[in-house]
Chains A and B, each alone.
Chain A
Amino acid sequence: DVKVTQSSRYLVKRTGEKVFLECVQDMDHENMFWYRQDPGLGLRLIYFSYDVKMKEKGDIPEGYSVSREKKERFSLILESASTNQTSMYLCASSLPQYSNQPQHFGDGTRLSIL
């Protein structure tokens, strides 16, 4: 089974801090994704990566950046955390045939910015 591991289940940070959320997958998937989930809004794509060092903006990239130095690891960075970035963050990975391969998700990180 695919395992997608997010570094923290819960995280509390302060406004203005630089925050790193880490995600590791063990199935050699090319594609990796970062989403955020907010009540009433559904899962929204922040960034994705289809290869090492490649990244593409999703629907809501403002205030975030990403890093993919190794195939198995995809990091989400909040450059200067703000309270409106309090959310549930989900990482996912998939095989490269995007149109008919499911995404595999981590357990999520519930991030609170105070």
Chain B
Amino acid sequence: ILNVEQSPQSLHVQEGDSTNFTCSFPSSNFYALHWYRWETAKSPEALFVMTLNGDEKKKGRISATLNTKEGYSYLYIKGSQPEDSATYLCAFPPSGYALNFGKGTSLLVTP
């Protein structure tokens, strides 16, 4: 199993703080890197699918960057809100259809 590593494991920030987390993945045979947000009692929701080195994607206050040569991606949240509290998962497809997921970063934003 080719591992995806995410850090930190958990994060607690105050409302209005900006924050970021890291996803590390094997850089050989790269196809794509996925980010998902998983809120409690809901289903995981796709945020981004990134395929190109240097790619940067944005969705509202959330953005992500990708470095395929060194095998990492950063997810940034600007001005965190309580509704951003969730587990953020990254994943990549090592050899075909299925995704290998990291263990996630659990974010708690308090007012």
Contacts and interface: CB of A to CB of B under 8 A. Distances in A.
Contact of B98 (A42, A58, A100): A58
B43 A100 contact: no
A43 B89 contact: yes
A56 interface: yes
Contacts of B51: 99-100
Interface string B1-12: 100000000000
Given A42-B101, A42-B104, A90-B43, A102 B49 contact: yes
Interface of A: 4, 31, 33, 35, 40-45, 48, 50, 56, 58-59, 90, 94, 98-108
B49 A101 contact: yes
Contacts of B93: 98-99
Interface residues of B, number: 24
In terms of DSSP, what is the predominant structure of the interface of chain B? loop
A43 B101 contact: yes
A106 B43 contact: yes
Nearest to A39: B103
18 contacts: A33-B97, A33-B98, A42-B89, A42-B103, A42-B104, A43-B101, A45-B99, A45-B100, A98-B93, A98-B97, A98-B98, A100-B31, A100-B49, A102-B36, A105-B43, A105-B45, A107-B43, A108-B43
Contacts of B36: 102
Given A99-B31, A99-B32, A99-B51, A104 B46 contact: yes
Nearest to B104: A42
A98 to B, nearest CB: 4
